[in-house]
């Protein structure tokens, strides 16, 4: 749930999604939407950085035009 009425109820699912596919930048980037609602800026920044790293890894492997 990207914008749930009770974000604290989605934290377990968000934590699972963070590590589910470590090379899928978009999936890593989705849980920080919940972090933002929880005002957890440290986690927000950390996981967005991990998403950037995953996208860069993909770009190096597959080429930037294949993203």
Flag whether 25 is in a domain: yes
Average confidence (pLDDT) over 5-20? 88
Q: Which domain holds residue 23?
A: 7-66
The per-residue pLDDT for range 16-41, each reduced to its tens digit, is 998 899 899 999 999 999 999 889 99
CB-based burial label for 38 (10 Å; 0-12, 13-18, 19+)? middle
Do residues 41 and 33 touch, judged by C-beta distance below 8 A? no
Flag whether 2 is in a domain: no
The confidence score (pLDDT) of residue 64 equals: 79
Strand (E) or helix (H) holding 37: helix 31-37
Least confident of 4-13, 14-23, 52-61: 4-13
Is the pLDDT assigned to residue 67 strictly greater than 70? no
Tally of domains in the chain: 1
Flag whether 22 is in a domain: yes
């Amino acid at each position: 749930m990207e914008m749930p009425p009770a974000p604290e109820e989605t934290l377990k699912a968000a934590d699972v999604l963070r590590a589910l596919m470590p090379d899928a930048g978009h999936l890593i980037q989705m849980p920080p939407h919940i972090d933002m609602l929880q005002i957890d800026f440290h986690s927000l920044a950390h996981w967005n950085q991990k998403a950037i790293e995953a996208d860069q890894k993909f770009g190096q492997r597959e080429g930037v035009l294949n993203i």
